[in-house]
């Protein structure tokens, strides 16, 4: 019988095929989930676009609003299908605390920290059928994304053009146009339920971006008030409340970044924590133009800073209480 040295070497050798098989099985399941989600997306976005023609040709505004509600209902069904696929194939541990008195027929602004494209799926998982269908301000270039771009148009997502300071300086006529476009885009939401959704950081958080931007927060980037300011201006009389959402992936303390869509499908996300609070919006922040009113801009920035300080402390407190499971 060989010595113990042989046994020590052979143990990993016996485990290697098992490890390779497990990895292959994980990849196969993730690929199957991706195919299933892609199929549901193609089918349901095609149906959305067909129904959108009826909305476009509607003879009256009341009929058009009815078609908007039908389209939103179909989109919520689409989200439910995708949520079921995620749960069937790969379901991380969820720790969710959200308000119970949400109104599916209300008008809300949903504000969240942003670490990954997975954040959108997390919001949909938590709030589908609890809040009205989510709408986002979308870059106009994304209209050309296959299937999704047309679906976003059918669902009345506001497509916005962003202009740099240099371009505005060279073309003064562009000044304030984004606010006016946001107001016009949101007019259709005055008579239907809506949850306008915004990521104030403007981009996904990472440790590198935090250092580059010299963010004063430990777990967040400096918030920008543009999106929230646009909604406060355009939907001042309709907004019921702010839904302040905090999304936490404990493993980010190791990776330094948010998870990817593939990591969600392949089961690499061990836990997702969501905390949401319904906040009353101060009346003095509604209906004002932050572009032209410097005093109001400072007031809105200070209000956002207080929210972000609380959010940063909450994230640190939760992460300090647990360590990610790999």
> Does the reported pTM lie above 0.95?
no
Beta bridge partners of 197: 110, 136
With contact defined as beta carbons under 8 Å apart, do 119 and 112 qualify? yes
Six-digit token string for 207: 């440790």
Distance CA 125, CA 301 (A): 30
Question: Which CATH number is 93-321 given?
Answer: 3.40.1130
**H or E segment to which residue 68 belongs:** helix 61-89
Cβ-proximal residues to 105 (8 Å cutoff; 6+ apart), any chain: 132, 193
**Phi, psi at 57, each rounded to 5°:** -95, 5
DSSP state of 131: B
How many residues are there in the chain? Answer: 326
pLDDT tens, the chain, 326 aa long:
444 443 444 444 444 555 787 778 778 888 888 899 999 989 988 898 888 888 888 788 888 888 888 999 999 999 999 999 888 766 788 999 999 999 999 999 999 999 998 999 999 999 999 999 999 888 777 778 887 888 888 888 887 776 556 666 676 666 666 667 777 777 788 888 999 999 999 888 888 899 999 999 999 999 999 889 989 988 888 999 999 999 999 988 888 788 988 888 888 888 999 999 999 999 999 999 888 889 999 999 999 999 999 999 999 999 988 764 44
Six-digit token string for 270: 């061990």
**CA distances to 45, 179, 230 from 185, in Å:** 21, 10, 11
DSSP state of 94: E
Six-digit token string for 23: 């990895």
């Amino acid at each position: 019988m060989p010595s113990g040295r042989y046994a020590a070497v052979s143990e990993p050798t016996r485990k290697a095929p098992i490890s390779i098989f497990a990895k292959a099985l994980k990849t196969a399941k993730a690929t199957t989930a991706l195919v299933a989600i892609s199929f549901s997306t193609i089918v349901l976005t095609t149906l959305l676009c067909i129904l959108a023609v009826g909305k476009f040709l509607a003879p009256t505004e009341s009929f058009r609003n009815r078609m908007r509600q039908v389209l939103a209902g179909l989109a919520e069904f689409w989200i439910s299908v995708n949520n079921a696929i995620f749960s069937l194939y790969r379901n991380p541990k969820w720790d969710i605390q959200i308000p119970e008195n949400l109104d599916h027929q209300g008008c809300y602004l949903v504000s969240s920290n942003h670490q990954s494209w997975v954040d959108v799926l997390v919001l949909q998982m938590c709030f589908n059928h609890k809040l009205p269908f989510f709408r986002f301000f979308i870059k106009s270039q994304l209209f050309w994304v296959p299937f999704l771009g047309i679906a976003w148009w059918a669902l009345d997502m506001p497509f916005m053009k962003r202009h740099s300071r240099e371009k505005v300086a060279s073309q003064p006529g562009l000044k304030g146009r984004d606010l006016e476009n946001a107001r016009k885009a949101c007019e259709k939401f005055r008579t239907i339920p809506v949850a306008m959704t915004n990521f104030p950081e403007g981009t996904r958080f990472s440790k590198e971006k935090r250092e580059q931007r010299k963010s004063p927060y430990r777990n967040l980037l400096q918030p920008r008030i543009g999106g929230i300011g646009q909604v406060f201006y355009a939907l001042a009389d309709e907004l019921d409340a702010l839904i302040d959402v905090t999304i936490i992936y404990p493993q980010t303390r190791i990776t330094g970044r948010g998870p990817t869509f593939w990591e969600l499908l392949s089961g690499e996300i061990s836990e997702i924590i969501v905390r949401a609070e319904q906040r009353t919006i101060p009346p003095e922040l509604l209906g004002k133009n932050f572009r032209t009113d410097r005093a109001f801009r400072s007031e809105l920035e200070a209000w956002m800073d207080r929210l972000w300080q609380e959010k940063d402390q909450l994230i640190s407190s939760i992460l300090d209480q647990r360590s990610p499971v790999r």
